[in-house]
Structure 1
Amino acid sequence: MKSFEDLEKHFGSLNPELVRSLTAIAEARGREEVFRHQTPSGLDVLREIAIIQSAEASNAIENIRAPRERIEALVTDKTTPQNRSEQEIAGYRYVLDQIHANGPDMPFEAPVVLQLHGYLSRFTGDSTSGRWKGLDNVVEEQHPDGTVVERFRPVSAQETPAAMDGLHAGFARAKGEDRHSHLLLTAAYILDFLVIHPFRDGNGRMARLLGLWLLYNGGCEVGRYISLEKLIEESKETYYEALAKSTVGWHEATHDLRPWTEYFLGIVLAAYAEFENRTTVVNGRGSKRALIVSFIRSSLSDEFAVSQVRDAAPGVSAAYISKVLGELKDAGAIAPLGRGRGARWRRLRRDIS
């Protein structure tokens, strides 16, 4: 759409920051491919963790929340959704599964985007899912003092079908010309999608899912092992600031893609850094135990709670965490501080294995 009308204006001359990011990501992709081929068994736990964190974080950005235990059960298909929040989370996990399994084989076209949005709401029974919005929407932000301001003005409902067709045509044309990095085109697509805001509900979550799909199609696989959505949630204020800066003047095609693109590439680069950090810990057999031990060993504080361990090792059962903590206690590495669910632990030494 608007960003693809003049890509040369946005990406014809890259600033040093963008060049450094693109170079660093290319180098990290090479190291990722080596690890995936040399030690594939070490990635199973990372995949499991990423799916849980992605379903949790992307929904949390939209204030859709559920207890961690319920999210883990929903993601692993061990339960059925019991309320609206759980239905939303289960829908996100379903779309994520489709992208992980079928992404390379699905044509990146507007009708498929509609289909995936229908899947996003498959547990809620929302009759508007899988359809472009029928009414104009406004993207607003409520400040702490209660005042509400317009964040940006989306494309009208009447113009949305043509805008989405134009966005996909522009993306396909740019891919065919092969003048600009796939990562840059992905950043441009996400921004345009968010400004079009084509659905009544679920636009933010769809944007993050579509961004992940595009990264996979461009050979950037890190999102399978590290949750990009969690990294975005952890930098949510910067995320919204970058979008706000890059959406100014979008309708007139005078906007500046640089702030959003720098943020987006920063998230991808942070994911690769986290991937390399975790792959030094998770490697083959005993990888779940390694995650627990690594958290305790590297924690800045000598005291920690079991909830912190669960956050560092999502998908690892409470029983297994208790088992490992018991083994470390018997080895004289940690000591309990109290009893019960809220009990804390103290690290007695760092040379834990």
Structure 2
Amino acid sequence: MRFDADTLTISPQILSLIAEIDEFKGAWKALGTLAPERLSALRRVATIESIGSSTRIEGSRLSDREVERLLSNLEIQKFETRDEQEVAGYADVMETVFAHADAIDITENHIKQLHRDLLAHSAKDERHRGHYKTNPNHVSAFDAEGKEIGVVFETASPFETPRMMAELVEWTRAALDDRTTHPLLVIAIFTVVFLAIHPFQDGNGRLSRVLTTLLLLRCGYAYVPYSSLESVIEQTKESYYLALRRTQGTIRGDAPEWEPWVLYFLRALQQQKQKLEAKIERERIVIGALPALSVQILELARDHGRLTIGQIVKLTGANRNTIKKHLKDLVSSSHLTQHGTGKGTWYGRG
């Protein structure tokens, strides 16, 4: 496989997308002047969306609300279903990447450690987590009854995988260091080649999205934790797979066609930053339009996940009847959702 971008034609469209994304990257310091608790709320929402979307792309059936409930109880350390195990593992790894991106260089050891942690809660994957595959794992198509009907894409063989991963990591590190290729193009090529190799027995799709986030953070795209790239991919899943297949089908030749995947990747990053711009604007409108106590209640709901009136009284010190009035207004404006009735009533994000 070739990893260089020599065969990629840098079209005006690609240049325009890169310029737009980099402009937002440069403006983030000014855009990110929301209060820390507001940024924390944005990050929590984006993290829930990312975990939910990335696991659903691979077949999970948990909604974002179910993911949110699970994340609020991660200390239980016991997850009954594979969907829950995958969510817990993804949450752990995302937290590691967000907290320590500067210290996690792209090395084979770090990639294996992230894979190990990604599957840490899955007993089914205990044997192979953190290790390259030992059996073929070609991407196959299945019929409605789950029977394999054909191979869609042939990934690297177990024998080829260690060499190809070593070459990919070496190329990525060198390309990011010498800066002759724009980092967004380097990250795009890394991702599509990683998925073509499919180095682990399972978890490759989820890990590819974790590594994409890691590389973006290491390249200075500091806004990434506040807007979910995974949710963009989930919403454009057909285009995602089509772009992957169109580029991956040419990777083993002398002239890989990077453009289908690069264009998809850059457009996804464009949508990610556009979603964040819209969220920031809405946050500013909320802050400017709502009473101070209502804003405080919203922040508590986003930080705690679910709140009762008693909890709000205790946390704010405000009068119970005043809080009820604010809660009624927040529910009617769809900022909060009321769950249950009577003494069992609690409130969560709208």
The answer to whether structure 1 residue 266 and structure 2 residue 262 are counterparts is: no
The whole-number CA distance in structure 1 between the counterparts of 2:195 and 2:82 is 24
Q: Which of 5, 21, 24 is equivalent to 2:20? A: 24
Task: State how 1:33-112 maps to structure 2 within 5 Å.
Answer: 33-37=29-33, 39-66=35-62, 68-76=64-72, 77=74, 79-80=76-77, 81-112=79-110
Greater Cα offset, 25-34 or 230-239: 25-34
Give a deviation string over 1:232-261, Cα, whole Å, max 9, x none. 101111111111111112122432111111
Give unpaired runs (5+ residues) of structure 2. 310-323, 342-350
Q: Identify if the C-alpha distance between structure 1 residues 78 and 279 changes in structure 2 by more than 3 Å, giving closer, same or farther.
A: farther
The whole-number CA distance in structure 2 between the counterparts of 1:164 and 1:333 is 51
Which amino acid in 1 is paired with 2:173? A
The whole-number CA distance in structure 1 between the counterparts of 2:296 and 2:50 is 19
Mapped contact 1:243–1:260 kept (Cα < 8 A): yes
Mapped contact 2:7–2:258 kept (Cα < 8 A): no
Q: Identify if the C-alpha distance between structure 1 residues 172 and 20 changes in structure 2 by more than 3 Å, giving closer, same or farther.
A: same
Please state how far the C-alpha of 1:42 moved relative to its aligned partner. Answer: 2.5
Give a deviation string over 1:265-302, Cα, whole Å, max 9, x none. 111111111111101122467558779xxxxxxxxxxx
Please state how far the C-alpha of 1:326 moved relative to its aligned partner. Answer: 5.5
Q: Identify if the C-alpha distance between structure 1 residues 272 and 324 changes in structure 2 by more than 3 Å, giving closer, same or farther.
A: farther
Task: State how 1:211-290 maps to structure 2 within 5 Å.
Answer: 211-283=212-284
Q: Identify if the C-alpha distance between structure 1 residues 172 and 161 changes in structure 2 by more than 3 Å, giving closer, same or farther.
A: same
Q: Identify if the C-alpha distance between structure 1 residues 85 and 38 changes in structure 2 by more than 3 Å, giving closer, same or farther.
A: closer
Identical-pair percentage: 27
The whole-number CA distance in structure 1 between the counterparts of 2:26 and 2:177 is 24
Please state how far the C-alpha of 1:88 moved relative to its aligned partner. Answer: 1.2
The whole-number CA distance in structure 1 between the counterparts of 2:90 and 2:52 is 9
Please state how far the C-alpha of 1:317 moved relative to its aligned partner. Answer: 2.7
Mapped contact 1:45–1:288 kept (Cα < 8 A): no
Which amino acid in 2 is paired with 1:138? H
Give unpaired runs (5+ residues) of structure 1. 292-309, 342-353
Q: Identify if the C-alpha distance between structure 1 residues 83 and 289 changes in structure 2 by more than 3 Å, giving closer, same or farther.
A: same
Task: State how 1:162-177 maps to structure 2 within 5 Å.
Answer: 162-177=163-178
Query: TM-score, normalising length from structure 1?
Result: 0.79
The whole-number CA distance in structure 2 between the counterparts of 1:41 and 1:329 is 19
Please state how far the C-alpha of 1:94 moved relative to its aligned partner. Answer: 0.6
The whole-number CA distance in structure 2 between the counterparts of 1:179 and 1:107 is 19
Give a deviation string over 1:180-233, Cα, whole Å, max 9, x none. 110110000000000000000000000010001000011112320011111110
Figure out how many residues of one structure are paired with residues of the other and give that number.
312
Please state how far the C-alpha of 1:144 moved relative to its aligned partner. Answer: 6.4
Mapped contact 2:194–2:208 kept (Cα < 8 A): yes
Mapped contact 1:141–1:148 kept (Cα < 8 A): yes
Q: Identify if the C-alpha distance between structure 1 residues 270 and 318 changes in structure 2 by more than 3 Å, giving closer, same or farther.
A: farther
The whole-number CA distance in structure 2 between the counterparts of 1:226 and 1:247 is 27
Greater Cα offset, 69-78 or 81-90: 69-78
Q: Identify if the C-alpha distance between structure 1 residues 333 and 24 changes in structure 2 by more than 3 Å, giving closer, same or farther.
A: closer
Please state how far the C-alpha of 1:50 moved relative to its aligned partner. Answer: 1.1
Residue in structure 1 matched with residue 194 of structure 2 by the alignment? 193
Greater Cα offset, 35-44 or 58-67: 35-44
Which amino acid in 2 is paired with 1:87? Q
The whole-number CA distance in structure 2 between the counterparts of 1:340 and 1:40 is 31
Mapped contact 1:137–1:200 kept (Cα < 8 A): yes
Mapped contact 2:68–2:305 kept (Cα < 8 A): no
Task: State how 1:108-147 maps to structure 2 within 5 Å.
Answer: 108-125=106-123, 126-142=126-142
Mapped contact 2:7–2:256 kept (Cα < 8 A): no
Mapped contact 1:117–1:130 kept (Cα < 8 A): yes
Q: Which of 306, 309, 315 is equivalent to 1:317? A: 306
Q: 3-state SS of the aligned residue for 1:22?
A: helix
Residue in structure 1 matched with residue 154 of structure 2 by the alignment? 153
